[in-house]
Amino acid sequence: MPEHTQRPAAAPARHSTVLGLMSACVVLAVALVAAVNLALPDLRAGSLHPSSAQLLWIVDSYLLLFAGLLIPAGALGDRRGPKGALLCGLGLFTAGCLLTALAPNVTVLVAARGLAGAGAALVMPATLSLAVRTAPHGRRAHAVAVWTGATGVAGLLGNLGGGLVLQYLPWQGLFWVAAPAALLLLALTARLTPRLAAAPAGPTDPAGTALLVLGSLALLTALIEGPGRGWDSPPVLGSFALAALLLGALAAHGMRARNPLVDPRLLRSRPLRAGVLGVSAIFFGMYALFFVNAQYLQYAKGYSPALAGLAIGPLAVAMLVVSRLSPRLSLRIGPRATVAAGLACLAAGLGLLSLVDGATPYPPYAGILLVLAVGMGLATPSLSLTVIGSLPAERAGLGSGLNGAAREFGSALGVAAMGTVLASRTGGFTDGMSAGFRLAAAVVAVLGAVTVVWLRPVPGRAESGSGPAGNGREAAADRDAGNGRDAAADGDAGNGRDAGRGQDAAEGRTDAEPGARSSSSGAQAAATATPSS
């Protein structure tokens, strides 16, 4: 049933508990991706004897369902309430882990991994929605920063924890550990997390959901298979063509439907476009690095797998610290400047990595990782909150889903780009790595520049300190974020007339949760932090 009971934002002590719980859920969902990669040698040598192609699908079935379902999962959380969506997601995740551990053959194993991925798709947007919507006024940016930091450190924990488990247990041990952890989080969530109001009831959009999921899966399949099969191979070209057909049909459907899952006119909002593009650019660069980091450290530097996992530690720890400081900097210099500085650091760090070779000592390499961590930690919280802040508060789940989808598609593109460059180079591994990092730096620089331009305040807007965004520094931060009042007032925001919903869209915003009245999904959220996986 939809969660119609509404509670105000949690008290600070209660919210700290909820925020810690939401962060733990995200860490579990993301860390399992890194941990499973460590288990591939054991899987190959185990009793199931998967082929190379089957190994790829054991990994990718989780990622495909995870990324492909994020947006409809976020919308479901809005419609039924984020707590219910999170509990359902944790239940599916637990079932998927148990089935994976018990799988008698590769087919069941791939299906079970997909089930766990579907659960993770429900977990990600629901945790961010709950973290933001339960935060007291003035603490929403902090909530996004902590959540973002948790996603950053999850990869490190997956490598370290997975390596420790696999040192003493077979590959099934990963899932025997993950399943009870998910059950514990489910029980704690049921007991400690408040229920929040669902979005106003309305017709569902099964056609739009099917088109989005199938189109996303087709596109992700093409991106995953492209580096290995070749971009001009029939399966890859066919997947791209199918994705274009389905996503084009989704756009046409969204323009005609009365209650579409995703209204294409939302993308008229400059803040929303900026947030989605910026998050995609960050994760493009991050996963281009992650794709080659372990290979570089093990093959070129001779590190053991455990040492290679520890070597990425400076990036994860620094990102966690910087992401928590990012909201304070946004209040001082504005979120647009904070995002610009972060994206510039990220592009510069990727460019510096192109100079690394097998003879490079670890300390300079670690220093470059710190530059990258500063960039990601500065920009990601502001951009994530910009995405959420571009939609009404009761649609925070959809905003979280869009944010998560931008992360996953950016990640897939980063891996595909780096994999293609490595496969096309005839020189050594480090030569290909250098070329890949030059490409990644250029892509992040270009996309980052467009993002910063789109975050520019709209000229001629009335900007009053008494508006919904608050006053003083918060109002200034809200203006720079390009959301808040600008997103609500902007005819391009996909609300009001341009969304084809007129007064209903405006009323949807003003009927947000208590304490957030007149918040355009986060005019208030944007002001507190100021700028979301």
Instruction: State pLDDT tens for residues 27-50.
Output: 999 888 878 877 777 887 778 888
Same domain, residue pair 386 and 273:
yes
Instruction: Say if 489 falls within a structural domain.
Output: yes
Q: Which two structure tokens, joined as six digits, stand for 360? A: 């490079």
Q: Which two structure tokens, joined as six digits, stand for 253? A: 């459907």
Same domain, residue pair 293 and 184:
no
Instruction: Say if 502 falls within a structural domain.
Output: yes
For 135-155, give the secondary structure using H, E and C.
Answer: CCCCCHHHHHHHHHHHHHHHH
Tell me the residue type at 437: F
Domain stop point among 197, 217, 250: 197
* SS3 state at 423: helix
Find the CATH number of the domain harbouring 173: 1.20.1250.20
Same domain, residue pair 88 and 15:
yes
Rounded CA-CA distance 132/328 in Å is 17
Contact criterion met (CB below 8 Å) for 70 and 124: yes
Rounded CA-CA distance 166/164 in Å is 6
What secondary structure letter does DSSP report for 393?
G
Instruction: Say if 469 falls within a structural domain.
Output: no
User: Cα separations (Å) of 197 from 60, 215, 420, 514, 515?
Assistant: 34, 30, 46, 10, 13
Domain stop point among 197, 223, 249: 197
Same domain, residue pair 272 and 249:
no
Same domain, residue pair 298 and 236:
no
| 62-100 tens-digit pLDDT | 888 887 888 888 878 877 788 999 999 999 999 999 999
Same domain, residue pair 270 and 227:
no
- CA 390, distance to chain mean position in Å, is 16
Place of tokens 């760090």: 349
Same domain, residue pair 168 and 302:
no
Instruction: Say if 464 falls within a structural domain.
Output: no
Instruction: Say if 112 falls within a structural domain.
Output: yes
Instruction: Say if 139 falls within a structural domain.
Output: yes
Same domain, residue pair 162 and 299:
no
Its domain, for residue 142, covers 1-197
Rounded CA-CA distance 320/526 in Å is 20
Same domain, residue pair 172 and 224:
no
Rounded CA-CA distance 445/280 in Å is 12
Instruction: Say if 71 falls within a structural domain.
Output: yes
CB atoms within 10 A of CB 453: 12
pLDDT at 352: 96
Instruction: Say if 52 falls within a structural domain.
Output: yes
pLDDT at 337: 93
Same domain, residue pair 430 and 530:
yes
Which parts of the chain sit beneath pLDDT 50? 1-13, 461-533
Provide the domain count of the chain. Answer: 3
The Cα angle at residue 400 between residues 399 and 405, in degrees rounded to 5:
100
Q: Which two structure tokens, joined as six digits, stand for 397? A: 């789940």
Same domain, residue pair 303 and 386:
yes
Same domain, residue pair 367 and 303:
yes
Domain stop point among 179, 197, 215: 197
pLDDT at 53: 67
Contact criterion met (CB below 8 Å) for 361 and 459: no
pLDDT at 165: 85
pLDDT at 305: 67
